[in-house]
Amino acid sequence: MRQLTEAQKNRIEEILSRMTLEEKIGQMNQESPSIVGGFDVPFSELIEMLTDGRLSKEEFGKIMSTSQQDYHEDDIRAGRVGSLMVQDPAKVNELQKIAVEESRLGIPLIFGLDVIHGFKTVFPIAIAEAGTFDPDLMRKTARMAARESKAAGVSWHFAPMLDIARDARWGRVSEGPGEDPCLASAFATAKVTGLQEGESPDDPYVAACLKHYIGYGACESGRDYNTVNMAMHVFYNHYLKPFKAAVDAGAQTVMAAFNDLNGIPCTVNKFLLRDILKEKLGLPGFVVSDANAIRECINHGIATDDFDAGVQAALAGMDMDMGTGIYKNQLQKAVEEGKVPMEVIDEAARRILSVKMWLGLFDHPYVDEASMHQYDVLPQEHLDLALEAAERSIVLLKNEGDILPLAPSAKISVIGSLADQPEEVVGAWALSWRKEDCVSLWSGIQKEFANAKYFPCGGPEGGLNEEEITEAAAYGDVIVAVLGETIAMSGEASSRADITLPGKQRQILEKLLESGKPVVLVLMNGRPLALEWEDAHVPAIVEAWHLGIRMGDAVARVLCGKKNPEGRLSSSFPAMTGQCPVYYNHPNTGRPASKSKFTSRYLDAPLDSLYPFGYGLSYTSFDFSNLNVRDQGDVLMIGVEVKNTGERAGTTTAQLYTQDVAASLVRPVKELKRFAKVTLEAGEIMRVYFELPKNELGFFDNEGNYRLEEGLFRIYVGQNSRECLMAEIWEK
């Protein structure tokens, strides 16, 4: 793990000793290019006016033609900017030159960006990639994103997003690794390592920014930015875990979440920022607010005005202000009036300088503008990794009568407007891709199937074209229906109160099924959907998420059987929206759901999720048997026999869960502890072993103390969180 040397630490102190208060505060200020032009209201209001109809598209276009970007050059020159969001290498150098050569102390800027699942090479959205259960793959995709963005001068990624999310109504489930803390922690470690550690000394690296700290994924009723109330044992055992894993892996920075946690916005939450993150976990670098979040503390009803919000944030340990200018405009006065001690400013500036030093920006502030040209055409290695990540993220949800894979000669009707939109493959929060690199499903399918024909028929936003549906039903021996959500339907500010297929897509399916032809539903979406109806009526369902630039190729290769699906669900899928939040690792109740009336259930919904966490089928089948637990003192050695019982090679994911049967706090009915990918030839048998230190059987109480309690534990091993073998042990 790369760490600052003593000489670098001394150099930071030396720079600090020469900085004025204003320059220190300048480091704490992050700007993004603001749009200025022939309009006298702020740009954000202009957007609102466009959205609520006060401005027509034409009027908006006319105003925008007068606009230009303000990069805050004067503030940079005056040492009043520490960071900027820019991704053009020439612009990076131009602004960096002002900071380095024209500001008094020549402190370089740090350029940050949302590089969530790839830069030029876009990989699957995180919820999908987590479903590969393969940390090494997750590390490799992060590594590639780091190399590409670094060539553009971006050395700080606002990623990985580590929000545990249990409510699929929340649009941002797409950006994170799902509902489970163990899988999310593996994802966290892999991503931080991939971003921050090169494979050789001159391999480019960037600083990670873990977000959104914390509890954002637990926003009430899945509505974005909403309030969060959470028992502290849930906080420690579930939501904090991936952040801890990431800091342990060396993560340099953290972004605080928009929401409040138990009444205090994360932005001004001293307990979260100082006590837990900086002191307990030992974050080496700095904390940045989310966009505009310091000012939003006024809306939260926690601060009276900008000054108050700025003071509270600084005192709580918020080192950098994203986008409000509050630190820039208010902190000097706050220090002069004694509201914010000088040590708070020193600490923030020191932390920010330390990350810049860690990145080597003091010695190498500029980017080689030519180096981005190596990605003008994406190298084969990048295309290959994008394909591998995409195919391995695909989850086969249903395959009745082994409809899949389809013969390459099959006559196929491909339907759905999403199938022919290359730009829809990249998913939410992809900012730097090119359309010509994106492979749509229709174009991928044409490469594998000679007799495929495309009929749009309708899609998530549109209606339904009866004529095309009739034609599609008449042409194909099998219909591949590509349905789901557009990119805009998940991601930030994209919560949905009904997570069934949007628009008239179900009617499209109904009509296709009426034809009697077999239908394969390929889903493109950014969240778990409520698929009770589809599961009951459609014989084959493939969950293909938003898989990145090679999506079309990946899906086609799964449909024709060149790739045997191996992806798993990193989040449970409800049968109906009303079941949300639904997650496998819930505590038990006094009346666990059963068919009897007075149990914890709905009258009008199934007892459990439709597809559980960890679930996913293959074109072959696997059998798990002979679970055995050996006590080896401090460690449990858990073995299970896995057999490929089908007729082709395939990969399954063996999952080890535990349950603390009686403890001093309610514990999850199951919690994932280990997992292993197992690839077997047809008929092959392998014994898989897991080593589980007994001290991992403990948990955190409400005060954050780790407890290891004696009693009965259940050990489960299986192919998903529902279907498992079970053994019991008594631990003292």
Site residues (CB under 6 A) for ligand BGC?
Answer: 114, 158, 211, 290-291, 492
Beta carbons within 8 Å of 600's beta carbon, 6+ residues apart:
589, 591, 592, 593
Contact 185, 243 (CB under 8 A): no
CA atoms within 13 A on the CB side of 103: 29
Contact 174, 127 (CB under 8 A): yes
What SS3 class is residue 96? helix
Q: Which is nearer to ligand BGC, 212 or 511 (CB)?
A: 212
Q: Which is nearer to ligand BGC, 290 or 566 (CB)?
A: 290
Rounded alpha-carbon distances, angstroms, from residue 657 to 174, 466, 570, 653? 25, 48, 15, 13
What distance lies between CA 642 and its chain's CA centroid? 31
Tokens found for residue 567:
């992806």
Distance in Å, CB of 96 to ligand BGC, minimum: 20
Cα 214-219-220 angle, rounded to 5 deg: 145
Distance in Å, CB of 211 to ligand BGC, minimum: 6
Q: Which is nearer to ligand BGC, 258 or 573 (CB)?
A: 258
Contact 119, 148 (CB under 8 A): yes
Distance in Å, CB of 438 to ligand BGC, minimum: 22
Dihedral sign from CA coordinates of 580, 586, 591, 597: positive
Tokens found for residue 581:
């939040």
Helix, strand, coil in percent for the chain, rounding step 5:
35, 20, 45
- Alpha-carbon torsion angle 710, 714, 720, 725, nearest 10: 160
Distance, CA of 538 to CA of 543 (rounded, Å): 13
Burial tier of 285 (Cβ tally within 10 Å: 0-12, 13-18, 19+): buried
Smallest CA-to-CA distance from 320 within 91, 81, 13 is with 81
Distance, CA of 518 to CA of 721 (rounded, Å): 30
What are residue 665's DSSP bridge partners?
A: none
Tokens found for residue 322:
């994203």
Rounded alpha-carbon distances, angstroms, from residue 298 to 245, 267, 270, 511? 33, 11, 17, 51
Smallest CA-to-CA distance from 281 within 317, 315, 234 is with 317
What SS3 class is residue 44? helix
What are residue 630's DSSP bridge partners?
A: 637
Smallest CA-to-CA distance from 347 within 28, 107, 109 is with 28
Contact 421, 440 (CB under 8 A): yes
Distance in Å, CB of 299 to ligand BGC, minimum: 15
- Through-space distance between the first and last CA atoms of the chain, rounded to whole angstroms: 37
Catalytic residue among 75, 260, 290, 553: 290
Q: Which is nearer to ligand BGC, 156 or 235 (CB)?
A: 156
What are residue 521's DSSP bridge partners?
A: 481, 541
Contact 233, 179 (CB under 8 A): no
Distance, CA of 104 to CA of 84 (rounded, Å): 18
Distance, CA of 166 to CA of 181 (rounded, Å): 11
Tokens found for residue 151:
């060539």
Distance in Å, CB of 356 to ligand BGC, minimum: 19
What SS3 class is residue 523? strand
The H or E element spanning position 382 is helix 380-393
What SS3 class is residue 112? strand
Q: Which is nearer to ligand BGC, 71 or 158 (CB)?
A: 158
Distance in Å, CB of 72 to ligand BGC, minimum: 16
Question: Which residue is at the shortest CB distance from ligand BGC?
Answer: 158
Question: Does the annotation mark 290 as catalytic?
Answer: yes
Distance in Å, CB of 728 to ligand BGC, minimum: 43
**What residues are labeled active site?**
290
